[in-house]
Amino acid sequence: MQRKAARAATAVRRGLPGIAMLTALATAGLTGCTSSGGDRTVSDAKAGGSPAPAPAGKYRSLPSPCKAPEIKRLKAMLPTPDSLTEEQREKLYAGAADTSYDGDRHVGCRWAAGTPSETRLLYVGFERVVSYDRATASDDDRARQVYVRQLTDAKLPFPGPTTSPSPSASASASTSAGPGPSASASAGASAGASAGTSTSPAPSGSPSGSPAPVLGSRVLEDLGDEAFLDDKLGAAGASAAQARSVRIVFRASNVIVTVEYSVQPSAAGTVPPSTETQDAARELAEALSERFGG
C-alpha cells in the first residue's frame, strides 16, 4: 500500500508541469481574445459612429429692433412737422414693434412720419435662423439658404457680387447686373432700374433734362457676410407721385437683417432720388451690421 501511494504521488508531481502549462496557455488564450475583441469594439465605434453635430450659431438671441437705430439717425430719416409736440415725437421715434410669439427668433419694428411734402416709412427686422438637424446643416448653412431664397425672389444674380458705390458716393450709371424689384405693397407696381443712364423724371427742384442718377438693385459687398439691395419705384401716374422703396437684406452668421426705407412724395410727378434714399438705408444697415460684429 505504501509503495502504491508513493508511485501515485510521484505521478502527480510529474504531471504538475503539464497542468501548469495547460493553465498558462488557457489564460493567455483568454487574454488574447479579450484584447482582440476590445480592439474590434473600438474600431467598430469609430467606423459606424455618428458624426459630431455642427456647433450652434453665433447668435442665441436678438436685440430689440425698436432700439437698434440711433435716435439721431431716425430723426434724419424720418423728419416730422414742427406742429408735433415733444411727446408726439418721442412716441413716433419709439417705433411700433411687430407682434412676435418668439422674440429670440423673429422680431421687427416700424416707424412712420409725414410732412406736408412727403411720407416716409422705415422697417427693421431681425430673424435668427436655427437648424433642427445640425448633423446635416449648421445654423449658418440654414441662414444662408434663407438669404439665397430672398436674393432669388429679388431677381438678382447669384453668385457674382458686383462692386457697389460707397454710401456717400454719387454714380451716373447703375452697377446692377440685372433688374431687381418684385411687387411691393408700399411701392406699388415695380419699375426697377436697369444698368445705364436713368430715364426717370427729375425730382422736384432738379433742372429739367438733368435727372438724378439711379443706382439699381444689386448685390452689395462689405456688408455682413453677404448682402443685397432691392430698389423699387412705384408706377408713375397723372395724379399720384412715385414712391421709392429700398430694401437691404444682409446675413450676419445665423441672423438675417432686413432694412426697408420708403419715401412717398405728396406732389404728383415727383420722384424720390435713388442715391439719397439708398444712402440713408445703407448707412443704417451698416450701423446695424456693427452691432453684430460686422
Quote the pLDDT of residue 173.
Answer: 35
Cα distance between residue 150 and residue 268, in whole Å: 32
Quote the pLDDT of residue 163.
Answer: 39
Quote the pLDDT of residue 176.
Answer: 36
Cell for 209?
A: 433734362
Q: What is the CA radius of gyration of the chain?
A: 35
Cell for 111?
A: 416707424
Distances, alpha carbon 9 to alpha carbons 3, 5, 23, 222, in Å:
10, 6, 20, 96
Helix, strand, coil percent values for the chain (each to nearest 5): 35, 20, 50
Cα distance between residue 180 and residue 123, in whole Å: 19
Q: How many residues does the chain have?
A: 294
Quote the pLDDT of residue 235.
Answer: 81
User: Of the candidates 260, 169, 274, 163, which has an alpha carbon nearest to the alpha carbon of residue 221?
Assistant: 163
Summarised one tens digit per residue, pLDDT across range 114-135 is 999 999 999 999 999 999 888 8
Mean pLDDT score of the chain? 74
pLDDT over threshold 60, residue 52:
yes
Quote the pLDDT of residue 294.
Answer: 61
Cα distance between residue 103 and residue 240, in whole Å: 38
Average pLDDT over residues 256-264: 97
Which of 1-10, 11-20, 163-172, 261-270 is predicted with the least confidence, judged by mean pLDDT? 163-172
Confidence of residue 85 (pLDDT cuts 50, 70, 90): very high
Quote the pLDDT of residue 234.
Answer: 87
115 Cβ contact list (under 8 Å, min separation 6): 79, 80, 81
Q: What percent of the chain has pLDDT over 70?
A: 62
CA angle 123, 124, 125 (to 5 degrees): 120
Q: Where are the domains of the chain?
A: 1-49, 71-291
pLDDT over threshold 50, residue 138:
yes
Distances, alpha carbon 209 to alpha carbons 200, 206, 237, 271, in Å:
10, 9, 19, 14
Average pLDDT over residues 89-98: 96
Segment (H or E) for 277? helix 274-291
Cell for 248?
A: 437691404
Average pLDDT over residues 4-28: 46
Average pLDDT over residues 148-169: 66
Confidence of residue 186 (pLDDT cuts 50, 70, 90): very low
Peptide bond into 53 cis (omega under 30): no
pLDDT over threshold 60, residue 24:
no
